[in-house]
Chains A and B, each alone.
Chain A
Amino acid sequence: MPLVYLVVRATDRGSSTFVDLLVRDRTAELVVRSVELAVAVTAACLVIGIGSAWLVTRTDVAGRRFLRVALGLPLALPSYVAAFSWITLWPDSAGFRGSFVVLVTLSYPYVYLPVLGALRRCDPALEDAARTLGLGRWAVFRRVVLPQLRPAATGGGLLVGLYVLSDYGAVATMRYEVLTHAIYRSYQASFDRTPAAVLACVLAALTLAVLVVEGRLRRRRGPVAAGAAPIRPQPVHALGRWRWPALLLPVGVLTLALGVPAWGLRRWSVRGSSQADPAELWAAAQNSLLVGVVAAAAVMVLAVPVAFLTVRHPGRWAGAAERAAYLGHALPGVVVGLGLVFFGVRFARPWYQELPLLVFGYVVLFLSLGLGAVQASVAQVPPVLEAVARTLGRTAFGAWRSVTLRLILPGVAAGAALVALAAMKELPATLFLRPTGWDSLATGLWGHLQAQSYAAAAPYGVAIVALAAVPTALLLAVGDRRRTEGAAGR
């Protein structure tokens, strides 16, 4: 729906204005920059993600158990926090270089996590067979292991691409003009919002193109193992004297991804004379929590029925609802924010710049996040349990409540938590949709950073990392571990 209003608003001034704005050199330049950045970051993430996943599962590199979890954590860090730390540490990095480094260090887990899972599912017997057929170690990796990782790696790579296209915090901090950054600037800078709408349409089209590619790739499945592969211990390569030097890759990545932001937060707090107003900070924290919780509740109200529909009664309607949810997640926050602004101005005036519209924006953006968690837990409840409960004297609803609901509750809670945390971190959509004068932790931090009052920004940064980033990271790590252990136990 935000998409529709975006198109409506973009073509408002007549199609000739739309076309004029569309074919400007500047538009082309922005598109090229966005795509360049996305491609470069994705390539780097593929190398780092696959390499570190292989290191921590297939070699005896020191401390691999700790690394396995820690390497997934940077995903949860807000890009504006990381970017500001980088620019404090290395002021010259502004522009492409800085954006590249920040986005790579934050988004490589999108590749790392699925590849980690895929590596654990590989049947080692295939590798043994390849070795006996005369292939060397490297040839085995290239011709046997890599093809098995392809679906996971391409899926992850596309997520990285989507993330880069939609990121606003990092590129805005690095003052690198790509589409998201340009959209927000042109929205703020002038009363004529048509250029912003046109650019947002372009960005949306770009995202949709990535989605179409993803759909194609997913249909063309990767190689499927013949029969269910039994879970066997994975072969571990002894690195010998490389055991410690090999640490350089994961530890280096972690230092850049987590160390620099931690250093940055410390550094800000001792720099400058500005000071955070505790009352404002407290109010912002309350605001963040409030919208996070309300958004999570709203998402769950929608996600639970949709999850049941898609898992238990897959069909045309269920498929459409699911695709709509995933489309919303893929759209950049800037696009959703801007679309809803136009919608609010025209059709929901009383809601415009009020919290309900902001919450609605979060629902559009994060519905699929909650849906995924609920779907996974619904899929794990065999329908036969409900059938048994009914033969034991429970009504249809009673059986659902006493068995199925009870069993999906952890999944619902985890999904709700993910949504709440994501909403608390979200910057661009919040900037577009927040009520005037209303600040959450994210927008408060952003405001102080823009005003260069670093010391005042520091407590906001700490609060956001403590309230949103750390719990998200833990949730993801625990979720991943439980999934892999569940698979191994079966």
Chain B
Amino acid sequence: MRPIAVEGLHRRFPGRPPTTALDGIDLDVAAGSLVAVLGPSGCGKTTLLRLVAGLDRPDAGTIRIGDELVEGPGHHVAPHRRGVGLVPQQGALFPHLDVAGNVAFGLHRRPRPDRARRVDDLLALVGLAGAGSRRPDQLSGGQQQRVALARALAPEPSVVLLDEPFSALDTGLRASLRAEVAQLLRDAGMTAMLVTHDQVEALTMADRVAVVRDGRVVQVGAPDELYRRPVDGWVGTFLGDAVRVPGRRTGDRTATGPLGDVELADGFAHHDGPEVMLFVRPEQLRPDEPGEDPTVPAVVVGTRFQGPDTLVELALDAGATVTARWSSTTGARLGDRVDLAVHGPVLAHRPAAPSDDD
């Protein structure tokens, strides 16, 4: 159980034009915690993982695992001496070995009886006791992923790296396996780094999430903080549905716009303005209950039923159309007039440059 400390990592790939995969990444993974590196495809997150594993070398920057410098100027510890476990996409089990052979692959330095016991323990740990003699192609996708995890954990690595480990699985299976694996890593007290482009995966599994864009970390924090207080509109929309309306700063912690006069969240670096982009989540806009004030008059112009929730499209009387997420029991209908109330923190971001909406 050792922490990972990444500092100022740069990596460029030659080509025409050369691509900058990592442009000065700083990231700390505390001992025993699970950090998700979240970003769109091509943001450099897989490169980061390969560098931490030692499978590729950076152009600049340092990586420490525990107290040991494993990567630095003129210094490189080979991957097989780093003590990292890797769970790749789609498992990547060795097709020429059975399940037990795969799990035992990293135990080649241990005495034989010890090996068999460790394999049995790990297969039991991932819920596949007795499956040791099966071949990888006889396993389902979820089972393959468990074997890959067992294989990575077998040599007792000090950190585990997971590379989009659930991306190839069905939705239902993905959700249950996510919870299971997160619990398993936590129980083992394992330091883990997960890279993913799936914000639900990052938010549900990780202790902390680092959002990466264009080779840089744009925000790090606990999942709920990131979701509620994204540093800019891009991070906000990347992490989930967002309501963004133009506004204007009226004071230190106040602003005004189509949502009326709103109070800005405490302890957040709001954009100075005067023109700003106001940010709330759809679930923060609710129909007014008696006694609440101030309210925003609007009319329902569209509904999208999504099971427990309904996305309700609302045309504000003050201009602008916004989407709210209401419980389906509310029973919004087209043409209904409602008075909206804004719950929770409102953020003021820099007004969007056109490219922010990509």
Do A and B come from the same complex? Answer: yes
Binding site for B on A (CB under 8 A): 382, 384-385, 387-396, 398-399, 402-403, 406-407
Instruction: Tell me, yes or no, whether B322 is within 8 Å of chain A by CB.
Output: no
Cα A406 to Cα B97 with chains together (Å): 10
Give the contact stretch, choosing among B74-82, B248-256, B260-268, B348-356. Answer: B74-82
Q: Within residues 84 to 100 of chain B, which ones have a CB less than 8 A from any CB in chain A?
A: 84-86, 88-89, 92, 94-96
A-side contacts of B117, CB under 8 Å: none
Q: Please give me the residue from chain A that is nearest to B163 by CB atom.
A: A384
B-side contacts of A393, CB under 8 Å: 80, 106, 108-109, 155
Instruction: Tell me, yes or no, whether B228 is within 8 Å of chain A by CB.
Output: no
Cα A394 to Cα B94 with chains together (Å): 14
B87 to chain A, nearest CB (A): 9
Cα A384 to Cα B46 with chains together (Å): 12
Q: Please give me the residue from chain B that is nearest to A386 by CB atom.
A: B55
Q: Is the CB of B92 within 8 A of A391?
A: no
Q: Is the CB of B96 within 8 A of A384?
A: no
Instruction: Tell me, yes or no, whether B234 is within 8 Å of chain A by CB.
Output: no
Instruction: Tell me, yes or no, whether B174 is within 8 Å of chain A by CB.
Output: no
Q: Is the CB of B79 within 8 A of A391?
A: yes
B-side contacts of A391, CB under 8 Å: 53-55, 79-80, 82, 84-86, 106, 152, 157, 161
Given known contacts A393-B109, A395-B80, is B92 in contact with A388 (CB within 8 Å)? yes
A235 to chain B, nearest CB (A): 29
Contact of A384 among B79, B88, B105, B106 (CB under 8 A): B88
B275 to chain A, nearest CB (A): 43
Instruction: Tell me, yes or no, whether B337 is within 8 Å of chain A by CB.
Output: no
Q: Within residues 46 to 90 of chain B, which ones have a CB less than 8 A from any CB in chain A?
A: 50, 53-55, 78-80, 82, 84-86, 88-89
A488 to chain B, nearest CB (A): 14
Cross-chain pair count, CB within 8 angstroms: 65
A-side contacts of B89, CB under 8 Å: 384
The main secondary structure of chain B at its interface with chain A is loop
B4 to chain A, nearest CB (A): 14
Q: Is the CB of B55 within 8 A of A390?
A: yes
Q: Is the CB of B80 within 8 A of A392?
A: yes
B-side contacts of A382, CB under 8 Å: 92
Q: Within residues 222 to 260 of chain B, which ones have a CB less than 8 A from any CB in chain A?
A: none
Instruction: Tell me, yes or no, whether B151 is within 8 Å of chain A by CB.
Output: yes
Q: Please give me the residue from chain B that is nearest to A380 by CB atom.
A: B95
B-side contacts of A385, CB under 8 Å: 92, 94
B-side contacts of A395, CB under 8 Å: 78, 80
Cα A387 to Cα B54 with chains together (Å): 9
Cα A390 to Cα B86 with chains together (Å): 10
Q: Please give me the residue from chain B that is nearest to A387 by CB atom.
A: B55
Q: Please give me the residue from chain B that is nearest to A407 by CB atom.
A: B96
Binding site for A on B (CB under 8 A): 50, 53-55, 78-80, 82, 84-86, 88-89, 92, 94-96, 105-106, 108-109, 151-152, 154-155, 157, 161
A228 to chain B, nearest CB (A): 15
Given known contacts A393-B106, A393-B155, A407-B96, is B86 in contact with A388 (CB within 8 Å)? yes
Q: Please give me the residue from chain A that is nearest to B53 by CB atom.
A: A391
A166 to chain B, nearest CB (A): 39
Q: Please give me the residue from chain A that is nearest to B160 by CB atom.
A: A391
Cα A398 to Cα B81 with chains together (Å): 13
Q: Is the CB of B105 within 8 A of A392?
A: yes
Cα A388 to Cα B92 with chains together (Å): 8
What 9 A-B pairs are tightest by C-beta distance, nearest first? Answer: A392-B106, A390-B79, A391-B86, A393-B80, A384-B92, A384-B88, A387-B55, A391-B79, A393-B106
Question: Could you jot down 23 A-B contacts, CB within 8 Å?
Answer: A384-B92, A385-B94, A387-B53, A387-B86, A387-B88, A389-B94, A390-B78, A391-B84, A391-B106, A391-B161, A392-B80, A392-B85, A392-B151, A392-B152, A393-B108, A393-B155, A394-B108, A395-B78, A395-B80, A396-B78, A398-B80, A399-B80, A407-B96
Contact of A390 among B80, B94, B155 (CB under 8 A): B80
A410 to chain B, nearest CB (A): 10
Query: Which of B54, B88, B109, B161 is packed against the most chain A CB atoms within 10 Å?
Result: B88
Cα A387 to Cα B86 with chains together (Å): 8
A-side contacts of B105, CB under 8 Å: 389, 392, 402
Cα A389 to Cα B89 with chains together (Å): 15
Cα A402 to Cα B101 with chains together (Å): 12
Q: Please give me the residue from chain B that is nearest to A406 by CB atom.
A: B96
A382 to chain B, nearest CB (A): 6
B43 to chain A, nearest CB (A): 19
B-side contacts of A390, CB under 8 Å: 53-55, 78-80
Q: Please give me the residue from chain B that is nearest to A489 by CB atom.
A: B137
A484 to chain B, nearest CB (A): 17
A-side contacts of B88, CB under 8 Å: 384, 387-388
A-side contacts of B79, CB under 8 Å: 387, 390-391
Cα A155 to Cα B196 with chains together (Å): 42
Contact of A407 among B95, B108, B151 (CB under 8 A): B95
Given known contacts A392-B80, A392-B105, A392-B151, is B50 in contact with A387 (CB within 8 Å)? yes
Cα A391 to Cα B160 with chains together (Å): 10
Contacts A390-B55, A393-B80 known; 4 new A-B pairs at CB < 8 A: A385-B94, A387-B86, A391-B79, A392-B152
